[in-house]
Amino acid sequence: MKRLKINYLFIGLVTVLLALALWPSIPWYGGGKDALSQIKSRGVLRISTVNSPLTYYTINNAPAGMDYELAKRFADYLGVKLEVTVRPNLGDLFDDLDDGKADLLAAGLIYNGERLAHYQSGPSYYSVSQQLVYRIDKPRPKNLGDLKGRLIVQSGSAYLSTLRSAKADSYPDLDWAISTDQGQKALLEAVADGKLDYTVGDSVTIGLLQRIHPQLAVAFDITDEEPVTWYLPRNEDDSLNAAMLDFYSQMGEEGAMARLEEKYLGHVGTFDYVDTRTFLRAIDNTLPDIKPLFEKYSASMDWRLLAAISYQESHWNPQATSPTGVRGMMMLTRNTADSLDVNDRLDPEQSIRGGSEYLQRMMEKVPETIPEDERIWFALAAYNMGYAHMLDVRKLTQKQGGNPDSWADVKLRLPMLSQKRYYTQTTYGYARGHEAYNYVENIRKYQISLVGYLQEQEKRLARQSALEAELGAGYPAVEPKIAMN
C-alpha cells in the first residue's frame, strides 16, 4: 500500500506541474480575470495595426509611427511589453479582435457608429475628414454625383457607410466597388499612378502621401472632421478602456499628447504641388551625385535630414549666393565658414562638412530639458536665426504660459520675434522669426518627402525584381480582388 501511495503522489505531482505548464495556452485561461488583469498577467499588450505613413512603419530598421509610439507608451504605462502585429487590411484587423489575438486595434481608424454593435472605441487622439481624391491632370469632380470613372474604396472602412448614406440621401446613381485586398495607401497610390479614377481616404494620410505622390489631388471633403480612435472588443469588461482613459488623461496633462501630435501631424500643413514636384525631380537628378557627401558628414543625424536641410538652404546648388552674402550648399556666412575651417564655401564637400559641424554645435548647446527627438528643431531654428534669438523665443513662450521645452509651443511664438510688441520684451530684440518658422517646417516636409520617396523607390525595385522572377518561372500575374457593390 505504501508503494502504491507513493506512485499516486508522484502522478499527482506530475499532473499539477503539467497543468501549470499548459495553463497559459488553455483557451479559458484567465477567464475569471478582467482584460486588464490578463494583460498584466501575460506581461504583453497585443495590438494589431496596418503599415501606413502615420500609424506604423520602419525607418533605419526601427519601428515608428504615431499609433506605434502611443501604444508603446500605453504598454509602458501598464508595465508590460508591446507586441505588434501588422495586417494587410481592415478585415484582418477586426478578425484579430474577434479571435482574441489582439487586445486592441491601433491603426488610425475613424470612429464609426456601425462598428459599435460589435466593438467599443477608445478615446479620440486626432481628427480627420473623409476626402475624395483624383489625379491632378484629370477633370476635378464637384460632388459625388459628378464622378466619371471608377470609384473603389477599402473593404471594411468607415468610408462605406458614408457612401451608402450619400447614395440614399442625395446621389441615387452613385456606385462604387470594394477592394478586398488593397488598403487605403495602395488605393491612393493607384489614383496617383493613373490606374484608378477615384478613391476615398482620410485627410491626414492623403496629406502625407502627397509629399511622395504629388499627382494625388483632393476633389472635396465628403465629411466634416471626425475623431480617430482605437477599437477594443465589446463586452461587459471595461477595465482596459478605463485604463486607457486614465492614460490619455495623463498624456494630456503632461503635454505628451501635444508633442506626439506635433511630431507626426504638425508638419502636414498646406501642400505645394510645384515645390514638391521640383524637389522629387531633384532627388532623381541631383541627389545621386552628392548623396555620398551627406552620408559621410551626417555624423549622428540621419543623412536624409542633412540633405533636406541643404535643399532648404540652396536647393542643392553649390554656387548658391544670397543678397546677404551667405553662400554654398549649406549657405554659410564668411565668419561661420572661417570658424569651421571652410576655405571655399562653394566647394560642396567643404560646405556640407561645415554646415553639419555647425549644426552639431547648435545641438550641443540646446538645453538638456528638451526631449531628445525635439532637440533638432530647436537647433535648426538657432542655425537659421541665431542661438540668442532661440533663447529669446523660449523665454517668451514661458512668459506666455507655454512650455519652453515643447517645439509645438515654441514654434507658435517664432513669428512674434518680428513684431515690435513682442521683441521689445526680449533680450536680443528683433529677429526674422517667421522665416525661422518656415525654415524648420519646410525642412520637415522635405525630410518626409525624401524618406518616403526613397523607400517607395526601393519597394518598386523589389516588386519589379520579384515580378521578373515570377514571370521567368512562368507564374501568371494575379489581379487584385474587387467585390462589386
Q: Where are the beta strands (DSSP E) in 249-405?
A: none
Separation CA 184–CA 157 (nearest Å): 9
Return the bridge partners of 57, or none: 64
Distance in Å from the first CA to the final CA of the chain: 75
What are the strands of the beta sheet with 482-484, ordered from one edge? 152-154, 177-179, 482-484
Contact indicator for 103, 232 with CB cutoff of 8 Å? yes
- The one catalytic residue in 189, 226, 313, 441 is 313
DSSP symbol at 171: -
R_g over Cα of the chain: 27
What SS3 state is found at 345? coil
Kindly give, in sequence order, each residue whose CB lies less than 8 Å from that of residue 37, ignoring residues fewer than 6 positions away.
30, 239
Separation CA 217–CA 191 (nearest Å): 9
Q: Is 313 a catalytic residue?
A: yes
Strand 216-221, strand 199-202: pairing: unpaired
Q: Which cell numbers in the block locate residue 189?
A: 497610390
Contact indicator for 259, 406 with CB cutoff of 8 Å? yes
CA count, 13 A, side-chain hemisphere, 293: 21
What are the strands of the beta sheet with 44-49, ordered from one edge? 81-86, 44-49, 104-110, 226-233, 119-128
Contact indicator for 297, 306 with CB cutoff of 8 Å? yes
Sign (positive/negative) of CA torsion 265, 218, 52, 44?
positive
Separation CA 32–CA 220 (nearest Å): 50
Contact indicator for 386, 439 with CB cutoff of 8 Å? no
How far is residue 330 from each of residues 279, 338, 414, 415, 431, measured CA to CA in Å? Answer: 17, 14, 22, 23, 20
Q: Which cell numbers in the block locate residue 388?
A: 540668442
DSSP symbol at 182: -
Sign (positive/negative) of CA torsion 268, 433, 423, 397?
positive
Return the bridge partners of 52, or none: 56
The H-assigned helical ranges of 286-386 are: 287-297, 303-314, 334-339, 348-365, 375-385
User: Which residue's C-alpha cell is 548623396?
Assistant: 291
Calculate the CA 120 to chain-centre distance. 24
Which residues are the active-site residues? 313
